[in-house]
Amino acid sequence: MMKVSRRAFSKGCVIAASGLAIGDATQAWAQIEGEKYKVGKKHPVPSIQDTETPAEKNARLQWFREARFGMFVHWGLYSIPAGRWDGKEVPGIGEWIMNRASIPVADYKALAPKFNPTQFNAEEIVGLAKSAGMKYIVITAKHHDGFAMFESKADPFNIVDATPFKRDPMKELAAECRKQDMKLGFYYSQDQDWTAPGGAAYKTGDHKPPTFHWDPAQDGNYAEYLRKKSIPQMRELLTNYGDFPVIVWFDTPTKDMTPELAGEVVKLLNEHPKLIWNNRLGGDYSGDTETPEQYIPAQGYPGRDWESCMTMNDTWGYKQDDKNFKSTETLLRNLIDIASKGGNYLLNIGPMQTGEVPVEEVERLREVGKWLAVNGESIYATQPTLFGAEAGAFSATEKDKEGKPKFVPSWKWRSTTKSNEVYIHLFEWPGSTFHLDKMPRNVTGAYLLSDNAKTPLKVTKSGGGLDIALPGQMPDPIATVLVLTTA
Ligand code: GLC
């Protein structure tokens, strides 16, 4: 049996916990509960990551590493209450409403006959991702509420059998993704399930240990739940949608997911050797990707693939009262910051009960897409910065929540790299020249990416550094990209 590096994974958690918080309204469950993700010494069932060669891994992850930008979609029955229950706003993220408001199973299940999202349009959603410059979509096929947003023979609590809508949005999305050259992944809550007997629940409020259930209808045996509902549904998702999903996005494992039970899931995953899956399966498996939630790690995860998932406001699932949307400037600079550290940005939308996407989200995505249409070359398929210090520095005096030196980001510029180019994303116009103290490559020329004529900018070398003469005005106030050609 393979040995799995404990260092690689637990180190990931440490970095994650000291990471840079950006708009941190919802803290990362994964990272708070980091303990659960520790890598054990042995896997009862070796996973693809244990057995493949580095070359095989590179081939498997290539598209993901080049993609840099994906769309997360949180959509389910929770879009009906949209953050309010019994006339009151329920604090916290929208898709957690059942748990946060201790809604009995029968009452929550009664939402299904009311779910009729006739405005859902797969062509439009995939088109929106496309126009935003996103390369893949990950959608909640089943969230913690246990409701399957796909046709399922394994469990009747699903969108085809339990709603008047009767359509399978996953099928429609898969068809559209194929048409529009978009990749599709499925989020599946393999462990928490609040409407199926035996499904797990995270602790909330006064819910009692050891199960943290709030309704006897939730009680049961977890292994039985996993074998009867979770694994069969994952099998459906992995076999009924052709070449999709390319990603399975697990979430919130608990102690219930022992290495042995996770091994049963891994057996199924191993039947799909192109699949990419994240670090949230549980049972000591570290998967392919680190998943920092609602923040960008200070220095990325050298040696690990990663994806920062973030909301545009403060909720994943739609909440009618949450209008706290980040600006296009913040979203775009987050994308650039992430690319400069070698990660992907999985940016969320939360469609409404009608199936429509909130207009604030559509607007922002279109704006990000406009920038990418001009500057995408500096984001997709790039390597991280050659510099690093531009991202910010650890404070000598200030401490973070864990008592470690706090990372203080700087927002002047970022950089990405290709074999013959260094891209500098300027957030502030430095005046008539941009100066670099050190330049590890030989620069042969410079121009602005938004300048179709590629008008050469004057490069002056001095010692190991250089200066590039800039025009008087900053062409794009959010981020102007300077290209340095290198030999
Ligand atoms: C969390 C939440 C969940 C959300 C996810 C996205 O773990 O439980 O509601 O889907 O993060 O990363």
Give me the domains of the chain, ranges plus CATH numbers.
Answer: 10-378 (3.20.20.80), 389-486 (2.60.40.1180)
Phi/psi of residue 305, each to 5°?
-80, 150
Using alpha carbons, select from 163, 131, 161, 158 the residue that is nearest to residue 145. Answer: 158
**Over the stretch 82-100, which tens digit does the pLDDT of each residue have?**
999 999 999 999 999 999 9
Our answer on whether the CB atom of 310 is closer than 6 Å to any ligand 1 atom is: no
Separation between Cα atoms, residue 482 and residue 447, nearest integer Å: 6
Q: Given strand 69-73, what is the order of strands in its sheet?
A: 276-277, 247-249, 183-188, 136-142, 69-73, 344-349, 305-310, 289-290
**Over the stretch 436-468, which tens digit does the pLDDT of each residue have?**
999 999 999 999 999 999 999 999 999 889 999
Q: How far, in Å, is the centroid of ligand 1 from the Cα of 74?
A: 9
Contact present, 199 and 206 (Cβ < 8 Å): no
Contact present, 157 and 109 (Cβ < 8 Å): yes
Separation between Cα atoms, residue 328 and residue 310, nearest integer Å: 14
Contact present, 352 and 314 (Cβ < 8 Å): no
Q: How far, in Å, is the centroid of ligand 1 from the Cα of 29?
A: 7
Separation between Cα atoms, residue 209 and residue 231, nearest integer Å: 25
pTM equals 0.91
Ligand 1 atom nearest to CA at 93 = 9
According to the model, what pLDDT value does residue 342 have?
98
pLDDT score of 15 more than 90: no
Which protein residue has the closest C-alpha to ligand 1 atom 1?
29
**Over the stretch 49-84, which tens digit does the pLDDT of each residue have?**
999 999 999 999 999 999 999 999 999 999 999 999
Our answer on whether the CB atom of 316 is closer than 6 Å to any ligand 1 atom is: yes
Residue from 24, 29, 77 whose mutation best tests the ligand 1 pocket (most atoms within 8 A of CB) = 29
Our answer on whether the CB atom of 192 is closer than 6 Å to any ligand 1 atom is: no
According to the model, what pLDDT value does residue 362 have?
98
Contact present, 382 and 416 (Cβ < 8 Å): yes
Q: Which phi-psi region, left, alpha or beta, contains residue 388 (left: φ > 0; alpha: ψ -120 to 50)?
A: left
Contact present, 164 and 116 (Cβ < 8 Å): yes
**Over the stretch 297-338, which tens digit does the pLDDT of each residue have?**
999 999 999 999 999 999 999 999 999 999 999 999 999 999
Separation between Cα atoms, residue 75 and residue 468, nearest integer Å: 47
The pLDDT confidence band at residue 8, using thresholds 50, 70 and 90, is: very low
Contact present, 245 and 237 (Cβ < 8 Å): yes
Ligand 1 atom nearest to CA at 293 = 12
Separation between Cα atoms, residue 189 and residue 146, nearest integer Å: 8
pLDDT score of 27 more than 80: no
According to the model, what pLDDT value does residue 61 have?
98
Which protein residue has the closest C-alpha to ligand 1 atom 4?
316
The pLDDT confidence band at residue 183, using thresholds 50, 70 and 90, is: very high
Dihedral sign for Cα 391, 32, 259, 157, please: negative
Our answer on whether the CB atom of 252 is closer than 6 Å to any ligand 1 atom is: yes
Ligand 1 atom nearest to CA at 74 = 10
According to the model, what pLDDT value does residue 401 have?
86
Our answer on whether the CB atom of 93 is closer than 6 Å to any ligand 1 atom is: yes
Give DSSP secondary structure letters for 346-406.
EEEE---TTSPPPHHHHHHHHHHHHHHHHHGGGTTTPBPPS--GGGEEEEEEEE-TTSSEE
Our answer on whether the CB atom of 95 is closer than 6 Å to any ligand 1 atom is: yes
Which protein residue has the closest C-alpha to ligand 1 atom 2?
29
pLDDT score of 4 more than 80: no
Residues 6+ apart with CB under 8 A from 449: 374, 375, 377, 378, 423, 481, 482, 483
Our answer on whether the CB atom of 29 is closer than 6 Å to any ligand 1 atom is: yes
According to the model, what pLDDT value does residue 240 have?
98
Our answer on whether the CB atom of 122 is closer than 6 Å to any ligand 1 atom is: no
31 vs 45, which has greater pLDDT?
45
According to the model, what pLDDT value does residue 42 have?
80
Q: How far, in Å, is the centroid of ligand 1 from the Cα of 191?
A: 12
pLDDT score of 10 more than 90: no
pLDDT over 70, % of the chain = 92
Chain mean pLDDT for the chain? 91
According to the model, what pLDDT value does residue 284 have?
93
Give the mean pLDDT of 345-362. Answer: 98
Our answer on whether the CB atom of 309 is closer than 6 Å to any ligand 1 atom is: yes
**Over the stretch 89-147, which tens digit does the pLDDT of each residue have?**
999 999 999 999 999 999 999 999 999 999 999 999 999 999 999 999 999 999 999 99
Separation between Cα atoms, residue 414 and residue 410, nearest integer Å: 9
Q: How far, in Å, is the centroid of ligand 1 from the Cα of 458?
A: 48
Contact present, 314 and 322 (Cβ < 8 Å): yes
